Structures are given as C-alpha cells and as structure tokens.
C-alpha cells in the first residue's frame, strides 16, 4: 500500500529536501508551505529528481491553528490515511533575552511549539484508527534542534521553543506507544538552509540603538555570520527518510558533528569551563 507523508515547511531547506528524499523512497508526499508562491525551488527539485508525480503541494500555515483539523481531514478524504507527519516548519528568533518583547517570544512559540502541537493533535485520531489491532499507526517526526537540548546566548527564544517541543514530545511518545504510533525527535546542529539568512528574525530592538546590548549583539551576529560552519542538509533529509521507514525508531536522533560536540562537552566538562569556552566563542563578554 502506498504510504502517505505530510511535511510542513517544504519551500526550502530540510523540509524541501525531505519531500524529495521521501518521494524517491516511494512515499506519496503531501508537501505543504504557508505561501504557495514560494513553490519554485521544490517543483524544480522534484522535476530534477524525477518525482514530480509523487509530490502534491498544499498550502498550510501551522500558526493558523483553527484551519489545521480541516486541512488534515481534507488530506484524509483524498488519500484515506496519513502514515508519516514531519513537523518541520520553523524559524529562529535572535536577540538578547532582555530585548525580546513578549509578543515576539509568543510568535516564536506559536510556530516552533504550538504549531507542531496543533498539527500533531489534528493527525492523531487518524493514526490512532490506523493503529488498531496491533498494526503500525504512523510516525510523527519532530524537527527539533541541538538547541532543544543545550542553550546558546542570544537565542533564548529559539532554545526555549525547542526545549518545550522536546518535553512535550517525550511525553507524547509514551502516551501513544500502545497505539502503534512512533514519535521521534531529530536534533540537527547547524545546516546550510534559509534559516540563517532569509528566515532569521531579529527582535525589533535587539540590534537597534535602543538596546543596551546592541554592541554585544552585533559581535555575536558577526561570529554567527563569519565563523559558523554548516553541514550538508542532505544528511538530515536522508536521516528523516530512514526514520520514517523504521518500524521501531529511537526517541532522539542528534545529527551533525557540531551538535555532538556541544552535547557531549556540556555533559562531560566541568560546568564553569564549559561556560567559559562558550562565552569566549560567542564574544559577548
């Protein structure tokens, strides 16, 4: 039977490449994006890979919470099942915690946390029904981040949203295990996508003259721009595709050498030494 995969945020980056890889692996992919006018890159990539007929485009903004159950029902009506949900859409909000306004922080949570929660809740009844009598209900794959496990300065909002996603997902996995639904967290380090350029958002006052932290924030922004090494995003899309085909996946998949180094240095080094190294690299002291 043809498997149906629903992916959010497929106009660029990890979502786009995952749509292509999953189509190549034989899934029928419902590739969603909040603005269908940004479909050019996905359509071109699908044509280049010879998988255009396996990819169906739909508009979906994960912060339009009330529309999500209807969108899922529509997909179910057309395809009769949803086997994989990849909660990928997201963005990163930068700025010292002191400078981020509450509405900006709420916006970050609306996309990176509540959007994933709302779409997952909309899909769960379908997967629950598929999981009756011991068969596989489906896979829910959350694209978290190394920032869901460790925090950097100047990205407290992003880290907080990904930490929330980690906690919610860890609980959900236990709750739906008996229903045959496999819940997974993918935790990438830095990968070369639009999140660092087109989709980066800086708090309104974070770099402005109004901010008491502006000089330090500018130094940090310069470090990110000039020093950060980013991996090949295909590693992440291939991993997600593998997880989607694994009947018994782990809870967590940390990916990227930088992510491994951050994770293990935080756990193994004395805390004060770890902070000293991190602050030196961040240049905010």
Catalytic residues: 158
Place of tokens 């990890």: 14
CA atoms within 13 A on the CB side of 234: 3
Phi, psi (degrees; rounded to nearest 5) at 282: -80, -20
Give least dist CB 208 to ligand NAP, A. Answer: 23
Q: Which residue's CB is nearer to ligand NAP, number 57 or number 180?
A: 57
Which positions touch ligand NAP (CB under 6 A)? 8-9, 11-15, 33-35, 38, 61-63, 88-91, 111, 115, 143, 145, 188, 190-191, 193-195, 199
Closest approach of ligand NAP to the CB of residue 230, in Å: 6
User: Measured from the CB of residue 259, what is the shortest distance to ligand NAP in angstroms?
Assistant: 8
CB of 134 to ligand NAP, least distance (A): 32
Q: Are 114 and 164 in contact (CB under 8 A)?
A: no
Q: Which is nearer to ligand NAP, 87 or 130 (CB)?
A: 87
Q: Which is nearer to ligand NAP, 177 or 257 (CB)?
A: 257
DSSP 115: I
d(CA 195, CA 11): 12
φ and ψ of 100, to 5 deg? -85, 125
Which lies closer to ligand NAP via its Cβ, residue 14 or residue 29?
14
Question: Is the sign of the CA dihedral 36, 39, 42, 46 positive or negative?
Answer: positive
Those residues whose C-beta lies under 8 Å from the C-beta of residue 3, and which sit 6 or more positions away, are 26, 27, 28, 83, 84
């Amino acid at each position: 039977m043809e498997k149906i995969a629903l992916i959010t945020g497929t106009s660029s980056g990890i979502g786009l490449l995952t749509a292509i890889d999953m189509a190549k692996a034989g899934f029928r992919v419902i590739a969603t994006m909040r603005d269908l006018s940004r479909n050019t890159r996905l359509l071109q990539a699908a044509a280049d890979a010879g998988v255009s007929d396996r990819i169906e485009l739909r508009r979906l903004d994960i912060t339009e919470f009330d529309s999500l159950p209807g969108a899922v029902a529509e997909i179910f009506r057309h395809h009769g099942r949803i086997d994989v949900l990849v909660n990928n859409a997201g963005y990163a909000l930068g700025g010292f915690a002191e400078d981020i306004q509450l509405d900006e922080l709420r916006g970050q949570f609306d996309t990176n946390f509540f959007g994933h929660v709302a779409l997952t809740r909309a899909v769960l009844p379908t997967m629950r029904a598929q999981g009756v009598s011991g068969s596989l209900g489906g896979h829910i794959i959350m694209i978290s981040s190394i920032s869901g496990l460790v925090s950097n300065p100047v990205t407290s909002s992003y880290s907080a949203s990904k930490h929330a996603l980690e906690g919610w997902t860890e609980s959900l996995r236990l709750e739906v295990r008996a229903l045959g639904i496999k819940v997974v967290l993918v935790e990438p380090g830095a990968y070369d996508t639009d999140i660092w350029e087109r989709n980066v958002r800086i708090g309104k006052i974070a770099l402005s003259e109004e901010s008491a932290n502006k000089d330090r924030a500018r130094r940090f922004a310069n470090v990110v721009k000039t020093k950060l090494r980013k991996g090949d995003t295909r590693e992440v899309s291939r991993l997600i595709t593998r997880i989607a085909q694994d009947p018994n996946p782990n809870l967590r998949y940390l990916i990227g050498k930088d992510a491994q180094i951050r994770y293990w240095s935080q756990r193994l080094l004395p805390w004060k030494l770890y902070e000293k190294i991190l602050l030196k690299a961040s240049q905010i002291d």
